Amino acid sequence: MSNAFKRELHLSGKVLIYAVEPHSAAIAHVLRMLKRDLTAVLGIEPEFAADPRQAQIRIGLAGENDSCPAHPEAFEFRFVSDEVSVLHIVGRDELGVVYGVLAFSRMFLGIQPFWYWMDQEIKSRSEISIPCVHYASSPRKVRYRGWFVNDEVCLIGWKPEYPPTREVWEPVFEALLRSGGNMVIPGTDLPRHGVHYELASEMGLWVTHHHAEPLGAEMFARAYPGREMSYLREPERYEQLWRQAIEEQRHRKVVWVLSFRGQGDKPFWEDDPSFDTPFKRGELIGQVMQKQYDMIREYVEDPVCCVALYGEIAELYQEGLISLPENTIRVWADNGYGKMVSRRRDDINLRVPSLPSAKDSGRHGLYVHVTFHDLQASNHLTMFAGSADFLKSELEGAFAVGASDYLILNSGNIRPHVYPLDIVSTLWNEGAIDTKQHLQSFVRSYYASEHEALARLYRSYAEATLPYGPHSDDLAGEQYYHHPARQIIGHWLQGKETESDHRLDWAVGAGSFEQQIQAFEERLAPAIGKWKSWLEQCDETLAKLGDDDRQRAKDHLRFHGELHLSGSEGFYQLCRSYAAHRLGQYPQAFVLASESLWHYRRGMDALRAAEHGKWADFYRADWLTNIASTVQNVDTLRKVLRMHGDSPDFFLWYKQYLMPETEKHIYLENTHREPLTDDDLAARLKERLLSDAQD
């Protein structure tokens, strides 16, 4: 290498950039990001030069015979030096340019992939020094890789506009691009006039579809309300919807999803019971997918197609009853908890391996969750309950058997899931991960101090989670404390106490209702201690952090621990309330239900505390875990319990337990008109009836 290339490029003040024209919408987007990043670091807005000879940074596509690496999405940094060194960012294709610019921003400006979602503190500098060393990108491990922005109620409810606008979607797609992603399912069943698909394509991403919406077509039941939902009887109408979807998307980069499920993401034979054997079902699904593929081929040369081996389609495929069009990527799904086995359905948990076997040729990919919503034990508001090493083992194992052509990751609402999203992006880029080294890098990227202590908290988070079953992935997210609790309250208040609640069998078995509640109580008790200990360690670390880092650690660490602790304590006291109720101890049951309520309210407080600054109202649409609903359910319960002995005047418990003996027999009714509120009565009864220290 000549001496010219041993220099450094120094950027300061107003940086001049030249971008080769014409450039696409995606390149225009990334140039705006670069302009913003340079302004944030150097304090002066850069300019785009009309003459490339004036520029310090030149950006453009590689020529046909260029030495830029030949793999898709490749980029290269080159340095040309006369008297002054100039950086050339060269991309093999559109996304190559995008990734090259974003790599420059990360490597030399310090802008991290999740800078927006982590509220990264951008360090200002007077000068940036860049070693003049050529750099060429390597191919990514996974060819098509990205996020399914699913169950995205926080993103939907964050701003008043619906469907979400560019203001919401741009930071999502930017973080995905900065993480090396190139594909997205932008939301779940959003109105078709929304900007989400258009913007994703505009920013350079491949778009793909939910497995319940083949080809991204409008659902039959919505397009033809009242019509019989049968492909056998209405093939023209189904095919009209598919053709319309193909025509709308033919000029975009699309990974086409071939599928045939019933309306509302269920087996189609629930709407068409004439398909009463596995053979009939598999035969029709195979015929429909071939028809969809043939239709795409009318408009698109060499289309990229995939099929989600999910639910009943996976079962029929593994039984050899579905034939797929040539070169279709087979996408294997985890169970919602990161484990590559079949999903639990109610209390049926067969855990059939969900990976290609040695006999499965062709192309294979993955559908993986770091957040899930299943009305059982999933994590929607809180971080993935499993460890980084668990994710490493599952994904590296899947890559080893050939499932590396495609990876769609359920990303939820982004903000609560940054750390696991970053882990998976490392895996889809590099194919492997050193979890210890990655964690060290992660905390140093987003926090200014106390790196070792913060790393311990991220690492020990998984160790604190509640194991509710025998498998390594049977770890409770925050929904475990809410959906079963509300089911218990409903079953209880509907007077069904003599019946087992079979909706709870998946978690505690099929004993009596009383035994089911006792089993939950026994699981919850040790979890409370673990989460208290974890939060104590968290608070010790927070006390040593600067203001910005402290807020960041509250939002991305303490927030999660508080939802776990408040949820586990609330559920535990609910179980104890039922036990007191069974013994006819209604005042005690009322107090314990009130304690449950107070703990659950802390979860609401945690949501509100995380809604500062630009995050105002971010969690107001908590409609899935729905902590507010749990609070309302428990409040209803304690009002009913108060009727058992304190009704109708709601003064009897005060008189029996709290009124001084000297007053009980001489007070006048007209001087005691205002009963105590539920909270006041419960707080005072607690001192009298439950004086022992509460866990």
pLDDT tens for 487-501 read 999 999 999 999 999
Confidence at residue 6, expressed as pLDDT on a 0 to 100 scale:
54
Beta-strand runs (E) in 36-93: 47-48, 57-61, 75-81, 85-91
In three-state secondary structure terms, 46 is coil
pLDDT at 315 over 90: no
Range 605-610 average pLDDT: 98
Find the farthest-apart pair of alpha carbons in the chain and give their distance in angstroms, rounded: 104
What does the pLDDT look like over 413-447, one tens digit per residue?
999 999 999 999 999 999 999 999 999 999 999 99
At 267 the pLDDT is: 87
Checking if the pLDDT of 672 tops 70, the result is no
Structure tokens at 458: 């991220």
What residues does 207 pair with on adjacent strands?
Answer: 184, 254
> Do the beta carbons of residue 431 and residue 442 sit within 8 Å?
no
More confident: 24 or 271: 24
Q: What is the dihedral of CA 343, 347, 348, 353, to 10 degrees?
A: 30
pLDDT (mean) for 604-617 = 98
What percent of the chain shows pLDDT beyond 90? 85
DSSP H helices in 543-585: 547-553, 559-582
Kindly report the pTM of this predicted structure: 0.96
List the beta bridge partners of residue 59.
19, 89
Q: How far apart are CA 367 and CA 333, in angstroms?
A: 5
pLDDT confidence of residue 336? 96
**483: pLDDT confidence band, cut at 50, 70 and 90?**
very high
Give me the pLDDT at residue 631, please: 98
Mean residue pLDDT across the chain = 94
pLDDT of 695 reads 43
Q: Is pLDDT above 60 for 248?
A: yes
Phi, psi of 249 (to 5 degrees): -110, 0
The stretch 448-455 carries a mean pLDDT of 98
The residue among 327, 400, 331, 401 whose CA lies nearest residue 368 is 331
User: Can you give the pLDDT at residue 2?
Assistant: 40
Q: State the average pLDDT over residues 351-358.
A: 93
- Please determine, for residue 82, whether its predicted confidence score (pLDDT) is greater than 60: yes
Residue 646 pLDDT grade (very low, low, confident, very high; cuts 50, 70, 90): very high
Is pLDDT larger for residue 666 or for residue 588?
Answer: 588
pLDDT of 93 strictly over 90: yes
**pLDDT score of 467 more than 80:** yes
How confident is the model at residue 670, as a pLDDT? Answer: 56
Classify the C-alpha dihedral 436-439-444-449 as positive or negative.
Answer: negative
Q: What is the pLDDT of residues 518-558, one digit of tens each?
A: 999 999 999 999 999 999 999 999 999 999 999 999 999 99
Q: What is the pLDDT of residue 492?
A: 98
Q: Name residue 32's beta-bridge partners.
A: none
Under the banding of pLDDT at 50, 70 and 90, the label for residue 690 is confident
Instruction: List the 183-185 sheet strands across, edge first.
Output: 206-207, 183-185, 144-148, 406-410, 364-369, 329-333, 304-309, 255-257
Question: What kind and span of H or E run contains 365?
Answer: strand 364-369
What pLDDT score does 236 carry?
A: 96
Sorting pLDDT into bands at 50, 70 and 90, what band is 4?
very low
Lowest mean pLDDT among 53-57, 99-103, 272-276, 659-663: 659-663
Cβ(421)–Cβ(114) below 8 Å: yes
DSSP at 478:
G
**What does the buried/exposed string (b/e) look like for 119-153 if buried means 16 or more CB atoms within 10 Å of the residue's CB?**
bbeeeeeeebebebeeeebeebbbbbbbbbbbbbb
Judge whether residue 694 has pLDDT over 60.
no
Q: Which whole number is the average pLDDT over 66-89?
A: 89
pLDDT of residue 153: 98
Asked whether the predicted pLDDT for residue 671 surpasses 70, the reply is no
Lowest mean pLDDT among 1-10, 267-276, 292-301, 542-551: 1-10
Lookup: tokens for 56: 């310090």
